[in-house]
Amino acid sequence: MRFFVLFASAVVTTGCVAQRGAPDPVAEAPGTDVTVQWPQASTCPETLAAIEAMADRGALPPSSEGAPLAVLAHGRTPVAFDPDLPLPSATAEGSGAYRCLLTVAAITDPAAGAERRVLREARLRSSYPTGTKRVVNPRYTELRDSLRDETREDGAGRRAITTGDPAIDLVGVIAGGILDGASALWRDDERAGIERELAETGRYEDQPILSPYGYTLTELEAVRRASIVVALLDRRTGEGWRRSLPVEERLDVALSDDRHPDDPTIQHTPSFRPMTSTTLAAWERGAPQVSLRRIAAAMRDAARAPAAPLTLAAVIDETRSADAAPRALVRRDAPEGSIADVAPAAGLPARDAAALDPSTDHRVRLGEAGHAVGFFVTPDELVTPLDVLPRSSLVALTYADGEVIHGMVERRDPMLGLALVYSPREGTPLALDERAAPIRPTATPSHGEPLMSEAGVTGVWLADRRIVPARSLAGLLGSRQTPE
pLDDT in tens, 236-291: 999 999 998 888 899 999 998 888 888 889 999 999 999 988 788 888 888 888 89
- Domain membership of residue 410 (yes or no) is yes
- State the Cα–Cα distance between residues 319 and 459, nearest whole angstrom: 43
Q: Would you tell me how many other CB atoms lie within 10 Å of the CB of residue 171?
A: 12
32 neighbors 26 (Cβ within 8 angstroms):
yes
Least confident of 2-16, 32-46, 327-341, 351-365: 327-341
The C-alpha angle 289, 338, 426, rounded to 5 degrees, equals: 55
Work out the pLDDT band at 91, boundaries 50, 70, 90.
confident
Residue 34 has pLDDT above 70, yes or no: no
Residue 188 is predicted with a pLDDT of 72
Average pLDDT, integer, range 331-349: 32
Average pLDDT, integer, range 159-172: 57
- Give Cα separations from 221 to 117, 284, 468, 480 (angstroms): 5, 12, 44, 37
Q: Which helix (H) or strand (E) holds 341?
A: strand 339-344
Outline where DSSP puts E strands in 76-149: 81-82, 100-107, 114-136
Strand-pairing partners, residue 350, are none
Q: How many CA atoms lie within 13 A of 81 on its CB side?
A: 21
Average pLDDT, integer, range 2-25: 40
Residue 192 is predicted with a pLDDT of 84
Q: Helix crossing, 44-56 with 292-302: angle to 10°? A: 140
Residue 149 is predicted with a pLDDT of 80
Q: Which helix (H) or strand (E) holds 144?
A: helix 138-156
Indicate the residue among 183, 202, 221 that finishes a domain: 202
- Domain membership of residue 434 (yes or no) is yes
- Domain membership of residue 320 (yes or no) is no
- State the Cα–Cα distance between residues 427 and 380, nearest whole angstrom: 7
- Tally the domains of the chain: 2
52 neighbors 296 (Cβ within 8 angstroms):
yes
The C-alpha angle 6, 7, 10, rounded to 5 degrees, equals: 85
Sequence-ordered list of residues with C-beta below 8 angstroms from that of 290, at least 6 positions apart, any chain: 79, 80, 81, 82, 104, 106, 228, 247
Contacts of the segment 177-186: beta carbons below 8 A, 24+ positions apart: 184/154
Q: Which residue has the higher pLDDT, 8 or 315?
A: 315
Q: What is the CATH number of the domain that holds 462?
A: 2.40.10.10
- State the Cα–Cα distance between residues 409 and 276, nearest whole angstrom: 14
- Domain membership of residue 268 (yes or no) is no
Sequence-ordered list of residues with C-beta below 8 angstroms from that of 311, at least 6 positions apart, any chain: 233, 238
Residue 237 is predicted with a pLDDT of 93
Q: Which helix (H) or strand (E) holds 322?
A: helix 312-322
Work out the pLDDT band at 420, boundaries 50, 70, 90.
very high
Average pLDDT in the chain: 77
The boundaries of the domain holding residue 422 are 348-477
198 neighbors 144 (Cβ within 8 angstroms):
yes
Backbone angles phi, psi at 114, to 5 degrees: -140, 165
Indicate the residue among 202, 223, 252 that finishes a domain: 202
Share of the chain above pLDDT 70, in %: 74
Least confident of 3-12, 66-75, 79-88, 254-263: 3-12
Least confident of 64-73, 331-340, 362-371: 331-340
Indicate the residue among 154, 171, 202 that finishes a domain: 202
- State the Cα–Cα distance between residues 299 and 51, nearest whole angstrom: 13
- Domain membership of residue 423 (yes or no) is yes
Question: Buried b vs exposed e over 57-93: b needs ≥16 C-beta within 10 Å?
Answer: eeebeeebeebbbbbbbbbebebebeeebebbebeee
Average pLDDT, integer, range 103-114: 71
- Domain membership of residue 367 (yes or no) is yes
Work out the pLDDT band at 170, boundaries 50, 70, 90.
low
**Residue 150 three-state SS:** helix
Share of the chain above pLDDT 90, in %: 23
- Domain membership of residue 354 (yes or no) is yes
What's the pTM value of the predicted model, to 2 decimals? 0.50
- Domain membership of residue 279 (yes or no) is no
